[in-house]
Structure 1
Amino acid sequence: MRDSRSPNHTSPVVVHLRPLASPLPMGFLGLAGGTFVVAALQLEWLPPVQGHAVAIVLLAFVFPLQSAAAVLGFLCRDDVAATGMAVLAGTWLSLGFIMLSSPPGSTSKAVGLLLLLTAFALWVPIAAAGAGKLVASLVLVVASLRFAATGVWELSGAQSWKHTAGAVGLVLTAVAVYASFALVLEDQRQRPVLPTWRRGKGAAVLTGDWQSQTEHVTGEAGVRRHL
């Protein structure tokens, strides 16, 4: 990079990298907690009057974990994970406030539209991740299906869609918990313990040398001049 003080003088660029723990396990456990309590409500394991309690869980437990995961994801230079966590955090925050201020058991077309948008928006990080991070992509795919089914129920009021959304929510709970556990073990052991199905660049992050991990850092957002 050329030094601005002299048109003919060049100086090396020093970029300081701060190691951070992966925020994905935290974000996925937050997702598991949110989808599980909402699924319990949709499958009528909980009475409708518990809707306000579920809303508090979304606001006090799910949103903080996923919003923190989003911020840390950007700091870790993983815009795929950060974008997915940010979309989920905003969705749960909105859903929590709406549930808290609505009559128990009611539906909302505004919520339905938001959830359908979330279902489509999650395909942005899914497409960006591709086959490199299959376990994370799988979580986001199931989350997309879960929000899509819930959105259709909110728009139509059909009980069959409500129960379908609850069933997909339970699947999402299991997938998110598995992904969190597998990624924590992988980070601790520095190798896959449970299958995470990394491919290509996703697998190279565990085996590549320092040079290969940082050779493109000067061109990344936060280092280059413009986003």
Structure 2
Amino acid sequence: MNAPLAVEAIDLERTYASRHTTVAALDGVTLGIRRGEFVAVMGPSGSGKSTLLNIVAGLERPTGGTVRVDGEDLARLNEEELARHRSRRVGMVFQAFNLLPRFRVVENVALPLAFSGVPASERLRRARAMLERLGMSARADHRSNELSGGELQRAAVARALIGDPAILLADEPTGNLDSANGAALLGLFEELHAHGQTVLLVTHDAQIASHADRTVRMRDGRVVDA
């Protein structure tokens, strides 16, 4: 029996208009990702893959079509509900680590729980447990400027997972890492996937995409191979 869909996109459109032209970033994208899948979306710059990720994350609204995440139709959500969607249903990992330098690592990891009303002591307890799970407990009380690139990205993954999201979204997450740290991060994604985590990763690199169960190829705003 097939697992339920974690992400369902139907005829998704996203256009950007300027004074002189209109650009279709997404042009009729239809795609389903089942819970527990590890899916890579691959394509060149301008293919629409990051736009697709942003819409699934609730960071952008589509111009047309439907997108459901964990059964929720995002078009029906207002801005406050979309913010809850981002904090509870999705975890996001970007090429830039986006850790706050004046905070300790454990405080950075705990930060998303503050928006969910979790008490401070419980936030820190959960953050320490997540850092231990990812092999980062020894760095919990360090500041981000004391961490290596690989440690920074691992801390960013811990922060993305702290709210137990339905899906982990990763946009070119190895882009600022050397080969060894990039391979270690992909190994971490594989480990998370082996424990049932749904992962949607955006990349332009076929070797990175090969770590996924399935590769979706995009070009010019369309899915050309799913």
With structure 2 as the length reference, what TM-score do the two structures score? 0.28
Higher relative contact order (CA 8 A, sep 6+): 2
Largest Rg, 1 or 2: 1
Q: If each structure's strand is expressed as a fraction of its own residues, which one has the higher value?
A: 2
With structure 1 as the length reference, what TM-score do the two structures score? 0.28
Q: If each structure's helix is expressed as a fraction of its own residues, which one has the higher value?
A: 1
